[in-house]
Amino acid sequence: MAYDSHNVFSKILRKEIPCQPFYEDDFVLSFSDLNPLAPVHLLIIPKNNYISFDDFSEKASSEELAGFFSAIGKIAKKANVSQSGYRLITNHGEDAHQEVPHFHVHLLAGKPLGSILES
C-alpha cells in the first residue's frame, strides 16, 4: 500500500488546512482531535510520511523513532496527565477503523476511560 498524500494529516503538515496545535518539534506535530472522545484527546503524528505503526517502525530512522516516542512522553507531561493517567491508541487498517492513513497515536485522558482489555 502506497502512502496517499491527499490525507487530512498530510494537509495539516503542509499547512493547507488548520489544526489546533499542542506541541511541535523536529519529528512530530501534536494537535487536538476534531471530535474529542475525552477531555484531553490529542493526536501525535510523525512529520514524515508513514501509513501505520509497522510502516513507521520499518522505515523510520533510529533518530525519528526515538524522537517520536520521546515526544509522546513530553506531550503527556505538558498535558498534565502523567499523574492522573492516559491511554495511547494507534489504529491501522479496516479492522481497526483507521480513518486517516497517516500514522498517528491518540492520547486520551481527563476522565475514567474504562478497561478495553475486558472480554
Instruction: Point out which residues bind ligand AMP (CB under 6 A).
Output: 8, 17, 19, 33-35, 43, 91, 97-100
Cα torsion 72, 78, 79, 85: sign: positive
Catalytic residue among 6, 41, 102, 104: 104
Longest dimension (CA), the chain: 42
Q: How far is 90 from 21, CA to CA, in rounded Å?
A: 19
Give the residue with the Cβ less far from ligand AMP, 48 or 98: 98
The reply to whether 104 belongs to the active site is yes
User: In what helix (H) or strand (E) does residue 4 lie, and over which residues does it extend?
Assistant: none
Give the residue with the Cβ less far from ligand AMP, 13 or 81: 13
User: At closest approach, how far in Å is the CB of 106 from ligand AMP?
Assistant: 6
Q: Which residues are catalytic?
A: 104
